[in-house]
Chain A
């Protein structure tokens, strides 16, 4: 149990109370406070995006889609996708947990560029407000994918404004990635060699590479859409000598790697959780670390698997199919190594571990169904159906959000200085897992049956599966609301957390909970290997718990 035998005492001064007033938050350069600014922002975005999903699922209870009109429905799923992808999933783990933890994990006082870090949050905020303005005043009906020529020549909605918002937000992602890369290279504590870095740091390093290399491409792509729409340039319009398929190449060149921006940090979280709650060194450390880099590299070579039915040449399709399969291998390596870490461990069933186990199961299933989509002969039938919707929700909701919640619980004592209520947390983890599967598993079946995505009405024979999905979504919603309530509650009423409640390895646990503004009293010097649980358990700290 995480309760200490003797009551922990909170430090008198820490980053949360070192300074007061709204200015101390809005002009802070403390990475931990910026992480909390991001936490609040992405949480708001998550519940806003989730609210759109609720209306979508309510509408789909009946095949006649009688709740909202077709125009409204199209705006709903567009808003859901845009908010969740660009404003929640991409920044969720890196900008909150990554921001908070990377300096702590490497024994640094802050990120390399604290003011750029604050700038990135403001850039995110401005981008988010511009996009939200477009989504609320007039709306957007292109889908989050902005496919041309629909977005350039047919949609009567706020394409340019929303695009500008996404363009702006992209810079926040680039700045964060840049900051992480420089920080990880230059600011590691003495003795913290590359292969002593926690896998969370490796995963964020790989993520940052994608953010820096990929994000400029989506920026240019939305700019081209805006220019074509405003000034009638012919980049994508066939009547002006353009090619609408060119857009898809550009879009997916970023947006497929972007999937790994969402899931690599999640994998980093899971590596930490699995080691801690098995009380073992992670199995195959270097294979997990290198597989993150392999995924980041390969992710740029697979984009056209989104385009197998566009009329792509069969030979190009074969190349992209083969390359897409190769991404599966490093992902499989991670899953096997996590599983092997449990072997002969001392496995605790605390909440973060429940999320980690849920992640491994759902990510494995999501990844395996990805193989169906890399397989040319199957992709033709299932692309653009609910099979795709199910697949990527297994990766992004079953993967990223499970890891995000697991990580949030794991580091909550460090972030807030308080313990969350374990019973409620376990209950909500189980509710999330059940609700998730009930929501998205039926979508594989209805997808193979042929139900296309983005349908506001559908043939009656698909109703039962859609009702199951909607029922699951309501359970899932409850599962997400409960942690909101008890985490907020615990900030004031939770038990005081000790510095290292689990206990866990990693420099972040060797400073107070919550940490002081400059993270460490004096710069730590690292003598141990990473995940040295045997040694930690011999130490005095472990005896306390």
Chain B
């Protein structure tokens, strides 16, 4: 049928892997469905009741058959499990050189920001052949960032940073959907992903006014929100300094140790008393309700960009 697609476009490095796995499962499913259907139809016809006088033989079961139809499916599902887990691991391991894009879901739109600061709504322009890592969160309820052509989907959960990545392999325009029901306009929380040649992407980036990058915005917010008074290398030491802290272990007052990742930094800004670093007093006021999701992402990007101080404080 012209104009009626039966298979989605394959436009990312992962898409081929997912589809290969999908074809394997489809083959298994088709084989067993047909096997069962054909056997049943064959038996139902071959052994149909011709007379009421028929006396079928007594067959109570067979251990050999029971074992066979336990073990064969077990082997097949083991293959599916291992293969599926491998693909899933690959989906969850963004390459180190990925370009970072932040995604904030909000009823009913997608707000995206490029590492260079360009913002987009319901549209994402990306260069072909370059891995893109997404940090996904939500301002309100749960959404799900879904690009079928890339076989990529990840929930946008309020209060959490989820990550996902893709590397587009084909230029073109693809669907972007919200896959988690989020209320009235859920079905129109859609957009498009435009995959461009790298040089076109550069031209596109240069097209608008020069924006403030997330790191620059974070630096500005860091001062505006008075984080700098306590947490910068030149501050008097009421709070832990944030230089070089990202991704490092932090000892807490409770004796536990946590990794200072995006989720920890976010929590420490919004709910500072939750996990106080060892050696400090819980004196920081909460910023709950005062910092937008985008500003939080900028602050975290800024903190992440700060190098560890040479020779300590």
Is residue B142 within 8 Å, beta carbon to beta carbon, of the partner chain?
A: yes
Which residues on A sit within 8 Å (CB–CB) of B184?
70-71, 74, 141
Q: Chain A's nearest CB lies how many Å from the CB of B199?
A: 29
Q: Which of A220-228, A451-459, A474-482 forms contacts with chain B?
A: A451-459
Which of B56, B80, B141 is the one whose CB lies under 8 Å from A154? B141
C-beta contact mask, A301-317 vs B, less than 8 Å → 1, else 0?
00000001111001001
Contact, CB under 8 Å: A344 / B59: yes
Chain A residues with Cβ below 8 Å from B219 are: none
Docked complex Cα distance between A238 and B138 (Å) = 11
* A325→B36 contact, CB < 8 A: no
Interface residues of A: mostly helix, strand, loop or mixed?
Answer: helix
CB–CB A378/B25 < 8 A: yes
Is residue A283 contacting chain B, with contact meaning CB distance below 8 A? yes
The number of chain A residues touching the other chain, given as a range, is: 35 or more
Do the beta carbons of B56 and A345 come within 8 Å of each other?
Answer: yes
Residues of B within 8 A of A384 (CB): 144, 146, 153, 179-180
Given contacts A281-B60, A533-B56, whether A381 and B151 have CB atoms under 8 Å apart is yes
Specify which of A147, A325, A337 is in contact with B181 (CB 8 Å cutoff).
Answer: A147
Q: Is the CB of B57 within 8 A of A380?
A: no
B49 touches A347 (CB 8 A): yes
CA distance A369 to B37 in the complex (A): 15
Chain B nearest CB, measured from A260 CB (Å): 18
The residue on B at minimum CB distance from A281 is B60
Per-residue CB contact flags for chain B residues 263-281 toward chain A (1 = under 8 Å, else 0) read 0000000110010000000
Please determine whether A321 and B6 come into contact, CB atoms closer than 8 angstroms: no
Contacts of A70 in B (CB 8 A): 184-188
Q: Is A335 in contact with chain B by the CB < 8 A criterion?
A: yes
- In the bound complex, residues from chain B placing their C-beta under 8 Å from that of A369 are 29
- Which residues B46-63 have CB closer than 8 A to chain A? 47-49, 52, 54-62
A310 touches B155 (CB 8 A): yes
* Chain A hits for B146, CB < 8 A: 384, 450, 452
B243 at the interface (CB under 8 A from A): no
A449 to B5, CA, bound (A): 8
Residue interface mask A485-504, B partner, CB < 8 A = 1: 00000000000000000000
Using A325-B77, A347-B44, A448-B8 as known contacts, say yes or no to A458 and B85 having CB atoms under 8 A apart.
Answer: no
Q: Given A322-B81, A349-B44, A381-B148, does the pair A244, B142 have CB atoms closer than 8 Å?
A: yes
Contact A345 to B43, CB < 8 A, known contacts A449-B8, A449-B148, A464-B1: yes
- Interfacial chain A residues near B55, Cβ < 8 Å: 346, 534, 537
Contact of A311 among B48, B74, B155 (CB under 8 A): B155
Asked whether B115 is an interface residue with its Cβ less than 8 Å from the other chain, the reply is no
B289 touching A239, Cβ below 8 Å = yes
* Chain A CB within 10 A, most for which of B55, B148, B271: B148
Q: Is the CB of A374 closer than 8 A to any CB of chain B? A: yes
Interface centre among B29, B36, B146, B188 (most CB of A within 10 A): B36
Interface check B152, CB cutoff 8 A: yes
Residue of B nearest to A323 (CB): B81
Instruction: Please determine whether B84 and A342 come into contact, CB atoms closer than 8 angstroms.
Output: no
Q: Are B73 and A332 in contact (CB under 8 A)?
A: yes
Q: Are B8 and A333 in contact (CB under 8 A)?
A: no
The smallest beta-carbon distance between B73 and chain A, in angstroms, is 5
Q: A333-B70, A450-B8 are in contact. Are A339 and B88 (CB under 8 A)?
A: no
Q: How far is the CA of A285 from the CA of B84 in the complex (A)?
A: 34
List 16 additional contacts besides A325-B77, A380-B152; criterion CB under 8 Å.
A150-B181, A245-B157, A279-B54, A311-B160, A318-B85, A321-B85, A332-B70, A364-B32, A368-B33, A372-B22, A374-B81, A376-B88, A381-B18, A449-B5, A452-B178, A537-B55
Residues of B within 8 A of A (CB): 1, 3-8, 17-18, 21-22, 25, 28-29, 32-33, 36-37, 39-41, 43-44, 47-49, 52, 54-62, 65-66, 69-70, 73-74, 77-78, 80-81, 83-89, 91-92, 107, 140-142, 144, 146, 148-149, 151-155, 157-160, 162, 175, 177-188, 270-271, 274, 288-289
A: which residues have CB within 8 A of B? 65, 70-71, 74, 141, 143, 145, 147, 149-150, 153-155, 238-239, 241, 243-245, 278-281, 283-287, 308-311, 314, 317-318, 321-322, 325-326, 328-329, 332-333, 335-337, 339-340, 342-349, 353, 357, 360-361, 364-365, 368-369, 371-372, 374-381, 383-385, 445, 448-450, 452-459, 461, 464-465, 533-534, 537, 542, 545
Show 17 residue pairs from A and B whose CB-CB distance is below 8 angstroms, ordered by the A residue: A70-B188, A147-B180, A154-B140, A243-B159, A278-B47, A283-B59, A321-B81, A333-B69, A335-B36, A345-B43, A346-B49, A347-B48, A357-B41, A372-B25, A378-B22, A380-B18, A381-B148
